[in-house]
Amino acid sequence: MANDGERNEAQTGSVALVTGASRGVGRGVALGLLSAGFRVYGTGRSIDQADLPREVRRVRCDHLNDEDTAHVFEVIRSECRALDLVVNCAWGGYEKMVEGGAFTWTVPFWEQPMHRWSGMMDAGVRAAYVCSAHAARMMTPRHRGLIVNISFWAAQRHLGNTIYGIAKAATDKMTSDMAVELKPFDIPVIALYPGLVRTEAVLAAAERGAFDLSTSESPEFIGRVINALFRDPNLMSRTGRVLVAAAAAKEFGVLDIDGSSPPVLTLADI
């Protein structure tokens, strides 16, 4: 693992890949890392239409397609020859939450439409697995890199949808086991839990009274936290663990874009 001086020196121009960067948490992470000096690559099916600065290198990718994913890493290898950070945000689990006029997210598992399994397990967990495998092939020869998997509290308690819980628990376990295999190469793997993030969908729902945004976080906040983690000289001591973004932010003195310090939510708060 690079020491603190090496990390600070290498910060500007370090190469980051953010999957699912077209919107939501992924877009916010891309913006946060770009402002921190990373050279950012963003992927997504609609990345070409995303509201992102021109400095973000957009590579259209459907992460359900392994050839698309492989192409992303070919582009990065061709243009940069190295990759320092991967943030796996790609996720298809929030699509088609209302079907036939009915909100199907919370129906029992035996009534769930099976596309939701594909959206969460294939476009989410499997996509993160495939991207991490490609990233590891680039990172291990250099003994340098960081893999962050965006997860959530649903791994630890039922939050209205069984498939959701399965997907997040799988993400946390995947993180833990990848960390074991990458430890000899000094590459940490972290599962990161956001709080209530002001994504486009959450803001729209808040207008209908579905959310209280008083404890919410901007999407860019997660990118700021990941930047702080990347620069932590003791990050290997955290490898394989689940970290709560707001707790890490308080430890590193990271503030949100409005200067606020989002509260640290616990399992009891969710």
What the chain holds in terms of domains, given with CATH numbers, is: 4-269 (3.40.50.720)
Rounded distance between C-alpha atoms, residue 236 and residue 193, angstroms: 18
If pLDDT is split at 50, 70 and 90, which confidence band does 209 have? confident
pLDDT at 155 over 60: yes
If pLDDT is split at 50, 70 and 90, which confidence band does 15 have? very high
pTM as predicted: 0.93
Q: Tell me, what's the pLDDT at 234?
A: 96
Residue 53: CB atoms within 10 A of its CB come to: 10
Q: Is 43 helix (H, G, I), strand (E, B) or coil?
A: strand
Q: Tell me, what's the pLDDT at 1?
A: 38
Burial class (CB in 10 A: 0-12, 13-18, 19+), 78: exposed
164 is catalytic: yes
What's the mean pLDDT when you consider all of the chain? 92
Q: Tell me, what's the pLDDT at 238?
A: 98
Rounded distance between C-alpha atoms, residue 108 and residue 73, angstroms: 39
Task: With CA atoms as reference, report the closest residue to 220 among 191, 203, 245.
Answer: 245
Q: Who wins on pLDDT, 210 or 149?
A: 149
Selecting among 94, 129, 164, 193, the annotated active-site residue is 164
Find the mean pLDDT for residues 132-159: 97
HSE (side-chain half, CA atoms, 13 Å) at 157: 7
